[in-house]
Structure 1
Amino acid sequence: MEELSVVATAPYIYRVNATFVPLLRQIFEIFINFSTDCKAAKLADIVFIIDESGSIGVQNFQLVRSFLYSIMNGLEISPSKVRVGIVMYNEKPTAQVYLNSFRTKDELLNFIKILPYRGGGTNTGAALNFTRENIFVTEKGSRKDKGVEQVAVVITDGDSQDAVSEEATELRRAGVTVYSVGVENANYEELMMMASYPPQKHVFIVDSFTKLKSLEQSLQKTLCYNIIRQAVSVGTRSSSIKEGANLCVSFAGCIQTEEADIFFLIDQSGSIYPADFVDMKKFLLEFIETFRIGPQYVRLGVAKYADSPTLEFDLTTYTDKKTLEEAVQRIQQVGGGTETGKALTFMSQLFKTAMKTRGHKVPDYLVVITDGKSSDEVKAPAEALRAQGVTVYAIGVKSADVQELEEISNDPKRTFFVNDFDALNPIKDDIITDICTTEVCKDVPGDLMFLVDSSGSIYPEDYEKMKDFMKSVISTSFVGQDNVRIGVMQFSSTQEVEFNLNTYFTKNGILEAVDAMRQKGGGTLTGRAISEVSQYFSPAQGGRPELQQRLVVITDGEAQDEVKAPAEALRAKGVLVYAIGVMEANTTQLLEISGSPNRIYAERDFDALKDLERQLSLELCDPERGKENICFPPGFGSRGTRPVQQRIRARVLPKRVLPGGGGVQQNPEPKTAGWRHQNRTGSRFHQGIF
């Protein structure tokens, strides 16, 4: 060891035994032909926050190096694409790699091989704070001011010796999506506290360091899928416009929900911190942006409660978006106890009055937000509200009682629980999707084919979950000969049509046919299946090309043949293609199949399909969801155009931004130097912007 200490540089001196030699061979294998799964994920700032405490040990830390190497080798790393940073921590965090430290991927990968290990304690909270203040900053290479997605991946093996909840909340409030990876003795509750919502999509756990390798593909796929799907908001991303490029902004939503009365009942008890109350108001503001506000359209009101309920403002108080937003900003927290039952009783009369002021019955919705267990009974007043026809959503935060939330909503799909108030915003999309789906799906005739993977790599129980997913989506459709027609084809090494678009015209008939499906087994020839399914959209097979035609592809693995050309040919016929990948599916192939990042979905397992049911149902009923593309000429992003941008945001965007937010695309080869407006729904461009 003395000779080694002369040759080597500390801390890169290791004492190993014979059993460690095969492990070293595995650790330093170089992945020359890395997966193409992330080729389409081209823009993100990702920081890995790595626990290097003494409980890990030298041998296990080599496995961490190998894990990092593999993940990064599969990313499109460069200064203009994906940037990577690394923070190591024990009692004290240190920056090993800033987001602008390396110019090439090879430089970064070579550094990973010699990433230092120090040992010591485990202050995860300090590491989260350090990363927010020192790494996700512009001067260290962060592109957050240009709207680039900010991602943190925390890898730890044990309990933190300091608090993590508040620091994790602040990191997420700064706009960072947080993934947590727990190994061996990692604290599950801390992993959940750190991760973004929903935790089931952002928390990864293995019981030993040798099993980290099994997470490589899963974590990489999740990261890349979310990078691809990340929506781009106009407000934060206008400065990222490249010179000479057209800026195209698309907005999507559920403008079909023309009439509704929505009340928010928000907990203002003393257990809620001021910053958390601000997060709750942000949630309300985001919600308001989603709908067309007006006396004849959607009306919103807010009531607060602690020991007693109070009406902040009624449905008729503010009749436009601007004054409504200003009213929300003025809401003040009073404090007190938590008597949710009394507050629910109070809401009953407000909804009765609403029908009188409206003059006729419209859908009524109540969104309840609370952070603790009620000191009075909630079940009876909640039942009374629902008996009035009010749809109730229950959102619990921190110390809220989940059973009580379910008593309030009486529906698991309308019950939500989050660890912190900053996680409220993602819930907004779930609620809005639920509100929108029923209205959007009315009177939307079309053809829908399912193309489902039936290969041998799918476990029988997972195959049944896939069938359940199909049945749930079918159940939300308005099935009929003159409405929505549905067909199903299975594929593996060969293809088999279960039923055509004109085989069944009743929902029960279709559901029974799906129940009767049997798994085929075999390989995964997805490209051939897409080519084959194309003919089943023809009139001879019950198709109606003059209507909206859609294909939903569900697969669990990488295609063994080429998918891009057959998918392009199908889309050229006007068929909208949705690609759902589960487990081992290739994200880049999903994008090639769908042709749009807005129509791909990647899930870690088949259980996660349940979370996708309503979202896909809404997309299928109204693929564009009121979507508009507004394209601006080169230079629209400079400081001189800021006043114009602000006026567009103030006058156009509030009327068009709906669930899912907005997206910005850049056209690298502008075809016109003027303004152009692409509107797929036929509605006119809003007048009077300038």
Structure 2
Amino acid sequence: MRTSTIILVLALSCQVYAQTSLTLTRCRNALDLIIAVDGSNSMGEPNFRLQVTSVSNVVNALDVSQNNVHVGAILYSQEVEAPIIPMTSNKTQAVQGILGWRYPDQETRTDLAIEVAIDMFQMDGRGGNVPQVLIIATDGASTIPARTLAVADEAKRRGIQVYVVGVAGARNEIDLNEMQAVASSPDKVLVTPDFQTLESTLRNAAEQICISLECGQAQIDMVFMLDTSTNVGPAGFQQLKDFIIEFLFFAHIHVGNIRVGLMTFGDSPMMHFNMLTYIGNEQGLNQAISAIPYRGGGTNMAAAFQFVREQMYTVANGDRQAAPDVVIFVSGSMANINTAQTQQEAEATRAAGIQVYGLGVNLPSMQDLDLVTSRPLQDNRFTVANLAQLQTIIQPIYSNFNRFCADPPPVPACYMGQTDIWYVVDISITAERLSRFDFTNDFAQLKNGLIQQINIVLDPSVSNPGVRMGLVSYSDQSQRVVSTADLSSVSRTAQAVNAIPGFIGVGGSNIAQALQQITEPPQQSQWNSYVAMVTPQSAFLNLQAVQAELSR
């Protein structure tokens, strides 16, 4: 049987995890919700009545009660119309108030509705871990767009999650750009074609307040790195702990697939519990997080990343070989201890296959957060102006988790740190014959496989300036086509692979001589350095010589 011996190099640094897909959805019972309803003259009385009925039906379907959903409602046109439905746990009172509204038939002062909603949340909202959500229903652009955007920004700054539901209608007067600017994120903009379908769209908006983990059976080894430095302060640290508990509410800890460890860092790192301590024990996990003391001190990110890599992610502390390693790094400070080593330790952590999500709170600069976060930054880095906004980033992170159960799993873009990769490729007549007989002429399948690996490094979504590549081709004789010391060695290797065979030698495969072409050492001793040999099995007949060169 003809076989090829291939050492796959990139898998050492980039792991792909296939999981069975099972969606698990969980909703926070406690929720403060305000629905702002447009009463402008663009819709007409019949459509206004349809809108009122839709909103009342959605409220009627919610679990409005003392301990669960509190709901309020606002009707706006040229002004905010009376009666305003104050935040209440009385469903009947809310529904009757909404059904009693009269059609104002004037302008679209969305700005006034948002202002009133902010005041209502401040006066009647429960605060703490209870999310505050504003759903704005409208069929057109606001009367004063600049003011609408300004007050929407203020609402979001206060941690209010803003959804916008647009009704296109026959006249299609909605302003999608304005809707996206007002909403907390693009996924919180929903458009429905008419008022007959508004109710189902409003229900979709309400359901988005829940969080779905599509990878319900995904195994994830998760470690929280929590900033406990002086800059955070005792009150701020308590809010960080509350956020972690809120975040983990949606992780289905009771199922046992997601394991959680937690460490803090200030002057030095400290483990509070590892990933084995609270498997399946959600209550115990929450109690342990609540009991973590505030420490104060400086901000030693370098020591923290060395600690998470060497101490938290060990088999003894619950790390599973088949589960992706995910760090949630939460910081409200800039590094001020051992700062020169921050980038090196963070890169070593990511190069070990650990995915780092960076969460920054009121940071004066993104410099340190960018150094430590996995690439691409737009998917893995999250920043908020204050601690109240942390809730808004829970959903995007869980959405990112869903990639762990893609089927088939994608080849990930991968940050590889400082790495040298040598490809040693057999282009003898024997190898060409195997390629021709088993696949197609001219090494097509071989080249395709190598290019797919190289493209992981060339992926534009991830910067890999520290990766160097070399290519040696050989049969009876060998030649070093690209050296790791060459400029643009990765792109040059890709070009050279596409040009294989370059030449076709006769006779056997002298792999020992080919390995002698690798003379460039890693630029620094701590760099990763790999050799990938692509050759027919018969090339290993002179195994002793090959082993001698590999040892060298």
TM-score by length of 1: 0.38
TM-score by length of 2: 0.46
Whose radius of gyration is greater, 1 or 2?
A: 2
